[in-house]
Each structure stands twice: as structure tokens, then as C-alpha cells.
Structure 1
Amino acid sequence: MSRLQVVSGKGGTGKTTVAAALALALATEGKRTLLVEVEGRQGIAQLFETEALPYEERKIAVAPGGGEVFALAIDAERALLDYLQMFYKLGSAGRALKKLGAIDFATTIAPGVRDVLLTGKACEAVRRRDKQGAYAYDYVVMDAPPTGRITRFLNVNDEVAGLAKIGPIHNQAQAVMRVLKSAETAVHFVTLLEEMPVQETADGVDELRAAGLPAGNVIVNMVRPHILDEEAVRTAATTSRRKDIAKSLTAAGVSGAARLVGPLLEQAAEHAQRVELEREQRGVLAGLELPTYELPLLSEGVDLAGLYQLATELRKLGVNGET
């Protein structure tokens, strides 16, 4: 079971929306899920129609069956303070460093430190247990950086481990990588059935595999229904069928039916062309040899009700914590 579900995707594909819906889907049947944000955009708070998330784990939703979704917006500076307290017991001295700007300097200048802190906090939540020895969360879902940065973001701990040969930093980086490169983690890619996001997904999967990181599923978002195929359009465009269409429109009480046939057929041709392009992109995704799921385009947009609808769709599709 992959308890850390990392969700990436090209900008505009609905990455955050899918991560939120996945957290809800995994929390059904009484499970506890932590939804983690690492980019500081407060996208999770907007989706769940709640106030801005603080640097603490807060319950934001109840899933069907009594499950719970918690959320956390990880702040690199606060995570560094936690780190200094955990390993060096700095306490008030660490807070003094923050006032002096030293923490901001460290997370901005030191190579990879910010990403180490962000991934480390998520991995800590994955490993955390309660007093009875059970995991604090059944799943941790990370709304991760976009596809173009995801491999470097997740693999930066290896780079830091190479710089620090011994000591707490080295040990922390190694502990994080043991989680990220294990079966406990699955990295999912959100895409659209368009050439650019599909190609970026393919490149991202290749980079992930080359780094030894575990690819999970491909989730195709905002899929529009197919109304006509190309053969139906060709049939409709014949002279005899054009006349039949005009007669049908007239019989239905549509005025000026003869003038409407041409524009309607043009729209049908555009639809058929889109269907063919989407078929080609599905072929590219199939070549990645990863489980692929499709979520529908919500005509009313994504609000809280829409999130629950997408979560239900994911459950119907069989998306769960397995890779």
C-alpha cells in the first residue's frame, strides 16, 4: 500500500483539485487522510471553502462513511524551526534566528534545504504513530510542484545527503529518501487530453523512473463527452443527409433551418477532430504503461459539491492507495 500519494501535473490541469478529491476518496470508510500543500498558494483552503490554512494540521472535511480529511500548509521556515528544535534543541534560540533573518537566508540560499524541509515534513506525517502504535494517518496526499519540477523536488534529499556525509542533516535526508523511493510512495500525474500536458507527463514519468522514484497513476482530468465520431460527421455532411437534417430541424419548429445546417456541421466536424486528437493522446498515455483513469469535466465548475462528486468518481474507478 502506498501511504504517501504525491500528485503532480502541468499547470492548468487541475492538479490541486485532483489531490483534494483523492484525499476525500481515500478517507472514505472511516480512514484518516492528511492533505499537504507545499507551494504556499492556499489552493486547498479555496477548494474546501475554508479560511487560510495555518502551519498546523486541521480537519477540513468529513468523507462518506465517517472518514476525515485533515490539511496542512507546510511553511519552510516553520519546518526549519521544528528541525532545529528536534535535532539541536535550540528552542528560543531558533526563534531568535528567525527574527534575525537567518532562517530565511538558509532556506533561500542553501542548496535544496527548502525542498528537504517540505518533503521531510510530509514523510514525518507518513511515519508518525499514535500511542497505540497505529499510524496517525492512513494516507498522506501531497499537492506537489508541477511536473517539470517534481523529480528534482523529490530527489533533492539525495543531493543534500551527498553534501552532508555525516550528522543529522545526512540522516534526515536518508530517512526521507527511504520513504520516497519505497513502495510507501506513489507519484501520480494529472493531465489533460492535449498534446502539451500529455508530452510533459511522458517526460515527467521518464525522469521519475530514471531517478528511481515510484510512478503511480495517470489521471486524465476534465474529459469531455464524445457526441459524434468522424464517420457520423461524414455521413451527416452528404447532400442527402443535409436535406434530412434541415427537414428534422423544421419539423422541430426551428426557423431558418436550411441556414443552420452548415454551422451545425462545422461544429460537428470540429468535435470529430477533437475526438481524433484525444484518441492520439490516449495512445501516448497507454505507452507509459501506467494505470490511467479519467475524470469528467464538471459543467458547473469545481466547488465543494464538485469535489465530492470527483471523489465518488475516483472510488468508482477503483483508485485507491495501491500502486
Structure 2
Amino acid sequence: MSRLQVVSGKGGTGKTTVAAALALALATEGKRTLLVEVEGRQGIAQLFETEALPYEERKIAVAPGGGEVYALAIDPELALLDYLQMFYKLGGAGRALKKLGAIDFATTIAPGLRDVLLTGKACEAVRRKDKKGNYAYDHVVMDAPPTGRITRFLNVNDEVAGLARIGPIHNQAQAVMRVLKSPETAVHLVTLLEEMPVQETLDGVAELRAANLPVGRFMVNMVRPALLGEDALAMAREKSVRPAVAEALAAAGVGSAKRLAGPLITQAGEYAERYALERAQRELLADAGLARHELPLLTEGLDLSGLYRLAEELRQQGIQGTLR
């Protein structure tokens, strides 16, 4: 079972929300998950209604059954200081470099190094074990960059090729790639049932597969409920039903039945068109051959209770036992 769950998606699809719900869903029956943020937006803190996350692993939620969710907002500069201390034992010299601006300079001019640091910290959490030999976390969920950048972000081995062909940086990149391209990892893509997000998602799948990165499954977010059956949808496309609708409204005692019939039929027709579009997008996703989960649109807005509701939805869809 994959232990590193990478969540990506086109901007606006709610990938951070899905990543948080996934972390909660996996933290059941006493399990521990780590939710990692790499973009510095503090989106996780906002979702869990807590203060800004520091550069340390901190418990932010308890899942049903006693599971725990920890969170980590990775700071590239501080991660580089950890790296320098680990491999070069710089100690105070590393802090002096930060004051001089050298750390920020290094991560700015070498974006490949930045990606190594960000992915490396997540991979370290995946491999970490306690004194008894048990994994520190059952799952690590990464709120990753958007679909358009995810392949390059994860393919850090190619990114650092121009930086170092030997030495600690090269070795670190190789160790990271061994995790990212192994069965321990699955990259899930969040989308909406709309043309642009679905097309970008399918393009992302093709890019990930071309880079030999493990594609997980589709997470379809903000799915609207089905309001009409197939017969009603067929009728909604026919303007000739207006008299029948007006008659039904009048029989039900609705005032101004004739005046209301037109707007109602127009609204039903718009719904039918959207339903047909969504069905076409589902078919495109199905053709990609990946499993799919669907999360409902929370019309009342997303708060902490809504996040738990989405996590429960994933659990009901059997996310714990089937995620690969």
C-alpha cells in the first residue's frame, strides 16, 4: 500500500482541501498521518482553523477511532540548514549563512535544489522509523504543486543533474527518486467535472507516466447532486413541455403557473446541459483507466466540520483499503 500520497490538481479545484480530507480519512483506527505543505501558503492551517504552522511536525487533528493527523509546512531555507548540518556539520556557520542571505540565494538560483529539499523532507518522513522499527507515520500526504508543475517538481533527479553529478546533493536526489518512483508513492490528481480541469488532468497523467512516476487515482471534487432522473432530463430539453408544466403547477395550487413555467423549463434545460457535460467528462476520465473518487459540493461552504464530512465520504468509498 502506497505510503506517500501526493495530491496535485489544477488551481481552483481544491487540491489542498482534498489532501487534508485524505489525511483525515487515512488516520483511522489509531493510525498516524503527516500532512505536508510545500508551497508556503499556509492553506492547511486555514482549513484546520489553527495558527500558522511552524517548521516542525505538529498534531492538528484527531480522526474518528483515535487516529492522529500531524502537519508540516516545509520551509526550503530551514530545510537547507538541516541539510547542511546533516552532511557538513556547519552548526552556527549555517545560521550565519542564513543571516547573510546565502541560504535564500542558493534556493533561488537553484530551483532544482529547492525541489530536492522539499521532496526530500517528505520522503524522509516516509522512511523514518522509531526505536522499535515501526514507521513514524502510516501515511504521508503531500499537498503538492499544481498539475502543470507536478512532474518537474517530482522529477528532482533530472532537476539536479546540472547542479551536481556526484556528492551529497546528487546522492540525496537519488535517494528521493527511489521513493518517488517506487510502489511506496502514488500521485493523485484533483479535478472538477469541467472541460479545462479534466483536460489538464489527463495531460498531467500523460506527463507523469512519461516520467515513470506512479499515477494514483482521480479525485473529482465539488460534485453537484443529481436532481433529475433520465426521463426528466429528456423532458427538460423539450420546450414543448411548457404547457404540461404550467398545468401541473396549476393543479398543485401554485399561483401564476403560466408565468413560472417558462423560467423553470429554462433552468431545467441549463441543468440538463450541465449534466450532459459532466457525464462526458466522467467518460473521458474513465477512458484513462484510473480509479476515481468523487467528493460532493458543500453548498453551505467549507469549514472544519465540512472537512470531516469529506473525509467520511472518502472512508465510505473504501479509501483506506484500496488506495495504491
Which category describes the TM-score, using the shorter chain as reference length? over 0.9
The one-letter code matched in structure 2 to 1:146 is P
| SS in structure 2 at match of 1:41 | coil
Q: Match for residue 10 of structure 2? A: 10
Residue type of the alignment partner of 2:309: Q
* Alpha-carbon RMSD: 1.4
Is the deviation greater in 149-158 or in 28-37? 149-158
- Whether the aligned pair in 2 keeps the contact of 1:230 and 1:272 (CA below 8 Å) is no
1:210-229 alignment, distance < 5 Å: 210-228=210-228
Q: Secondary structure at the match of 1:186?
A: strand
> How far did 1:232 drift?
2.2
Contact preservation (8 Å) 1:158, 1:177: no
2: CA distance, partners of 1:294 / 1:308: 15
**SS of aligned partner of 1:35:** strand
TM-score normalized by the length of structure 2: 0.96
1:255 CA drift (Å): 1.8
Q: Is the 8 A contact 1:160 1:173 kept in 2?
A: yes
Partner of 1:65: 65
C-alpha separation in 1, matches of 2:21 and 2:50 = 16
SS of alignment partner, residue 28 of structure 1: coil
Q: For the Cα contact (< 8 Å) 1:161–1:173, is it kept in 2?
A: no
Alignment of 1:169-248 (within 5 A): 169-228=169-228, 231-235=231-235, 237=238, 239=240, 241-248=241-248
Q: Which amino acid aligns with 1:311?
A: A
CA displacement 1:181-204 (0-9 Å, x = unmatched)? 000000000000000000000000
Give the drift of 1:245.
Answer: 2.2
Instruction: Count residues with an aligned counterpart.
Output: 322
- Secondary structure of the corresponding residue to residue 61 of structure 2: strand
**Pairwise CA distance, 1:165:** 2.2
- The 8 Å contact of residues 8 and 144 in structure 2, kept in 1 or not, is answered as yes
Q: Is the 8 A contact 1:24 1:308 kept in 2?
A: yes
Q: Contact 1:229 / 1:275 at 8 angstroms: preserved in 2?
A: no
Q: 2:48 aligned with 1:48, yes or no?
A: yes
Q: Trace 1:92-171 onto structure 2 (pairs within 5 A).
A: 92-161=92-161, 163-171=163-171
Q: Using the alignment, how far apart are the partners of 2:175 and 2:218 within structure 1?
A: 27
Aligned-residue offset at 1:163: 4.0
Alignment partners' CA distance in 2, 1:207 and 1:181: 14
Following superposition, the deviation at residue 157 of structure 1 comes to: 2.8
Q: What is the percent sequence identity of the aligned residues?
A: 79
- Structure 2 runs not aligned, ≥5 long: none
Aligned equivalents of 1:111 and 1:314: distance in 2?
35
1:145 and 1:80 mapped to 2: Cα distance? 19
Residue 238 to residue 163, structure 1, CA distance change in 2 (3 Å)? closer
- AA aligned to 2:27 is A
AA partner of residue 8 (structure 2): S
The Cα shift of 1:231 comes to 4.6
Deviations 1:219-274 (Å, cap 9, x if unpaired)? 100000122256524436464x4333223323444221110101100000000000
Structure 1 gap ranges (5+): none
Alpha-carbon shift at residue 77 of structure 1 (Å): 0.1
1:322 matched to 2:315: no
Give yes or no for the alignment of 1:280 onto 2:280: yes
Q: Residues 152 and 159 of structure 2 are in contact (CA less than 8 Å); yes or no, is this contact kept in structure 1?
A: no
